[in-house]
Structure 1
Amino acid sequence: MQFGEIPVEEAEGAILAHSLRLEARTLKKGKVLTADDLAILRAAGYAQVVAARLEKGDIAEDDAANRLARAMGGDGVTAGAAFTGRANLYAETAGVVVYDPGRLDAFNLIDEAVTLAMVPPYQSVEPGQMIATLKIIAFSVPEDTVTLAEAIARREVPMVRVAAYRPTRVGLVQSQLPGTKESVLNSTLEVTRARLHPMGSEICHEVRCEHAPAAIARAIEETLRNGAQMVLVSGASAVVDRRDVVPAGVEAAGGTVTHFGMPVDPGNLMLMGRIGDATVIGLPGCARSPKLNGFDWVLQRAVAGLPIGDREIMRMGVGGLLKDIPSRPMPRTRAKEGKAPPQAHVAPARRPKIAALVLAGGQSRRMGEINKLLAEIDGRPMVRHVVDNVLASAADPVVVVTGHEADRVHAALAGCTVSFAENPDFADGLSTSLKAGIAALPPDTDGAIVCLADMPKVGATVIDRLIAAFDPVEGRAIIVPTRRGKRGNPVLFARRFFETIAAVSGDVGARHIIGEHDEVVAEVEVEDEAVLMDVDTPAALAALTGGRP
């Protein structure tokens, strides 16, 4: 790759290295310069620009990131489309992230330009949560580098997977001593239920018994007879030896104690055992609390069907100090009291929730008596093509705004997994459909991609590339597709603009908002003319349908 100052006259096709804020337009870092861009630069007095130009054997940053992300994602993992050399990996399901840290090190040691960051191994994750981010540092990397990294990422099995939680029927045994409060036992029951719920599992049977080996043995047997696949034993007193009451009760029930103790604090005094095919866990005292402790780590792996023997437990010491200590900026106990600073609680990174608004309420005034949205293209109404394309993308949910001939549009979309927003004021113009659509979005929506129902050739790949570019934290809050430097549709807006969009009036869209907030606009150059092609005249419709309006 060549990098440095390039005369403007020779810069067409080069990649701009640094953003330039010009009077006519802002040119963003990473933009492939077009002839129109060069004209703007010349008018602004630029004779040279700092840019990169790929050479033979180089792979562009996005292409390299996409290749590597596809290679490393295993079961339960999905990769987002790359943008500016970054491709994120997400969990498809709730479960536990599994990978080999040594293999991750080998990947990162290939070349300084290829970097991969992951969440800690065996971390519990939710559907849609980000588990890794791959970043190509330079604008391109050599083919040989990508090939080597690809080999490490793929090997016999892909580098990272999510072991999905398996719904498990759990029995809970709680032993009692004289003076044990029922409120403590009730609280332990509820805390345990809350732990199991995110894993799709539940307590199928609970038994409370005397704190004695024989009584605990009978209670364990009762839970197994009632369908328990795993038994949790919460003793009235902590287990301090393999020959203590709880382990003795496990053995009296015909089981085997497989391990005692773990290098995680809180959670040191945890017991593992087996009775037939059932796992038995003697809970440490800290398991009565909802705070994270070593038992959580063991329970998560067990429900995910991962090995949890001696060696797995004894290797949990890395990061195993979970207890609140004075050197931490905010112990959990203070956070619980509401004294934590705003940054103390940070939600796990997740795939942004991007909804799609399909505006299908217009009257097609320039089409005469024809409702262009119902015109058939290859056997399907135009609006059906648009919605099918959107449904094939990562956008979710999909809201279709209807107005003119709403019943016919509904019929054309029969069977589609969309919701409808009715716009009774459709005759007042496009802004009313935008307002109706924005009002119908779920409150947890991070952004919305506004799709026009008369652009049937915009495919899911284009929509996914726009979603991949969306990152308000990095200043990309409005995402616009371009073709040869010309801006098109659809456009993705961050939630911060919803109120402004809903306030627009008349037969206009939200295009002016883009111009007013150029500092947060990211352009995505696509190889698809479809982003510039809307069907708004009889001639355009005839060209699309082969002369059959």
Structure 2
Amino acid sequence: MRRVKTTESVGMVLCHDVTKIVPGEFKGALFKKGHIIKAEDVEALLDIGKEHLFVWESDDLNIHENDAASRIAQAVSGNSTELTCPKEGRVNVLALSDGLLKVNTDILSAVNSVEEVAVATRHNNSYVRKGDTLAGTRVIPLVINKEKVEKVEEICAANEPIISVKPVQSYKTGVITTGSEVYSGRIEDRFGPVVIKKLEDFGSPVLHHTILPDDKTQIAEEIHSLIDQGLELVVITGGMSVDPDDATPGAVKAAGADIITYGTPLFPGAMFLLAYIADVPILGLPGCVMYHKATVFDIILPRILAGEKLARQEITRLGHGGLCLDCPQCHYPHCSFGK
């Protein structure tokens, strides 16, 4: 950058914010860094005592912060993303569709290890909606050596994209509500409707809903019946505790499923079950799903619908950030739960 007279600055790019202060009325930026000075701006600048300015001077060794942020954002972005225009040296990466945010955290760390480069993202495996901000990119100084930006581009070109959105799929789903008290009509089923609504909100229609007693054999037979009908996801509500009458885990085992986990380090949701019969996921949901806004179900379901087949190790990692704080007003997903 170089220092120039304000009267000779028309057409040049400001390297800094210019602050205007009117006591008791206004204090803020009259012009922000990156602003291209117009003829009509000169008098306004002189009125606040700015007879000289620092302006951007192009050369072959350095890149302006706006251009650098744009190039870095382009380098880190993958499927279903778009970029904003630079604003105050920052470019945001936005979601082009609903889906599961995937962040390559190892490569993100490598990029942020390049001096004077900063890329900040949302948490990996967050469910995002079209238009959501996924990440922000910028450089720390007003200008940066182009070799640093090229280093970021080199790192990204050699790896999978750091930021992408994985679409969720529509799964043909069957729901089994268990509980002899519900089956007999002694109490109303309040669990099934909650689960069905969540599934439909993700675009997965519930094609079959059955209410069964706490009978291991009947539940196991119904699991196979749903799969034989071509359903792609089976969700079982209730019967997940260690009480003698709760039969769901035993029924899933009796059905011949490969049980990935019975129990998760997520509160609420510790008594969750995940299993597979071939490629069909079987989810056993604890009672907390019925009355908590955010539970293990909200963390696992988007990953299932994005086609991911989860291993036990991925479940055990959820303990870090797996504690819901039971806030008086739930702000999920804008909180740390499941992150």
- Asked if residue 127 in structure 1 is aligned to residue 130 in structure 2, the reply is yes
CA distance in structure 2 between the aligned counterparts of 1:204 and 1:143, rounded to whole angstroms: 56
Question: Which among 201, 204, 207 is matched to residue 201 of structure 1?
Answer: 204
1:102 to partner: Cα distance: 2.7
Q: Name the aligned partner's letter for residue 104 of structure 2.
A: D
CA distance in structure 1 between the aligned counterparts of 2:258 and 2:101, rounded to whole angstroms: 29
Higher relative contact order (CA 8 A, sep 6+): 2
- Asked if residue 221 in structure 1 is aligned to residue 224 in structure 2, the reply is yes
Tell me the equivalent position of 2:25: none
Question: Which among 107, 111, 124 is matched to residue 111 of structure 2?
Answer: 107
Q: Name the aligned partner's letter for residue 99 of structure 2.
A: G
Tell me the equivalent position of 1:281: 283
For each residue in 1:193-226, what CA deviation from the matched residue of structure 2 results, as whole angstroms up to 9, or x when unmatched? 2211232112111111121210111221232233
Contact 1:211 1:235 in 2 (8 A): no
Q: Percent identity?
A: 25
- Asked if residue 17 in structure 1 is aligned to residue 19 in structure 2, the reply is no
Q: 1:42 to 1:231 in 2, by over 3 A?
A: closer
Whichever structure has more helix as a proportion of its residues is: 1
Bigger shift: residues 98-107 or 258-267: 98-107
Question: Which among 26, 41, 64 is matched to residue 60 of structure 1?
Answer: 64
1:345 to partner: Cα distance: 8.6
CA distance in structure 2 between the aligned counterparts of 1:45 and 1:87, rounded to whole angstroms: 32
Matching of residues 257-268 of structure 1 within 5 Å: 257-268=259-270
1:51 to partner: Cα distance: 4.5
Tell me the equivalent position of 2:26: none
How many residues align? The count is 327
What is the SS of the residue equivalent to 2:256?
coil
CA distance in structure 1 between the aligned counterparts of 2:124 and 2:48, rounded to whole angstroms: 51
1:335 to partner: Cα distance: 2.5
Q: Name the aligned partner's letter for residue 227 of structure 1.
A: G
* TM score, norm. by length of structure 1: 0.54
Question: Which among 308, 311, 318 is matched to residue 309 of structure 1?
Answer: 311
> Runs of 5+ in structure 2 lacking a partner?
23-28
Contact 1:247 1:257 in 2 (8 A): no
- Asked if residue 8 in structure 1 is aligned to residue 6 in structure 2, the reply is yes
What is the SS of the residue equivalent to 2:196?
helix
* TM score, norm. by length of structure 2: 0.85
Tell me the equivalent position of 2:93: 89
What is the SS of the residue equivalent to 1:218?
helix
CA distance in structure 2 between the aligned counterparts of 1:217 and 1:44, rounded to whole angstroms: 79
Contact 1:266 1:323 in 2 (8 A): no
1:124 to partner: Cα distance: 0.7
Tell me the equivalent position of 1:74: 78
Q: 1:228 to 1:307 in 2, by over 3 A?
A: same
Bigger shift: residues 95-104 or 41-50: 41-50
For each residue in 1:409-453, what CA deviation from the matched residue of structure 2 results, as whole angstroms up to 9, or x when unmatched? xxxxxxxxxxxxxxxxxxxxxxxxxxxxxxxxxxxxxxxxxxxxx
What is the SS of the residue equivalent to 1:315?
helix
Contact 1:97 1:160 in 2 (8 A): yes
**Bigger Rg, structure 1 or 2:** 1
Tell me the equivalent position of 1:525: none
For each residue in 1:137-175, what CA deviation from the matched residue of structure 2 results, as whole angstroms up to 9, or x when unmatched? 333221111111222334332111111110001111111
1:106 to partner: Cα distance: 2.2
1:75 to partner: Cα distance: 1.5
1:44 to partner: Cα distance: 6.0
CA distance in structure 2 between the aligned counterparts of 1:107 and 1:85, rounded to whole angstroms: 18
Q: Name the aligned partner's letter for residue 18 of structure 1.
A: D
CA distance in structure 1 between the aligned counterparts of 2:187 and 2:233, rounded to whole angstroms: 22
Q: Name the aligned partner's letter for residue 8 of structure 1.
A: T
For each residue in 1:514-544, what CA deviation from the matched residue of structure 2 results, as whole angstroms up to 9, or x when unmatched? xxxxxxxxxxxxxxxxxxxxxxxxxxxxxxx
Contact 1:177 1:236 in 2 (8 A): no
1:295 to partner: Cα distance: 1.9
What is the SS of the residue equivalent to 1:311?
helix
Q: 1:157 to 1:43 in 2, by over 3 A?
A: same
- Asked if residue 234 in structure 1 is aligned to residue 237 in structure 2, the reply is yes
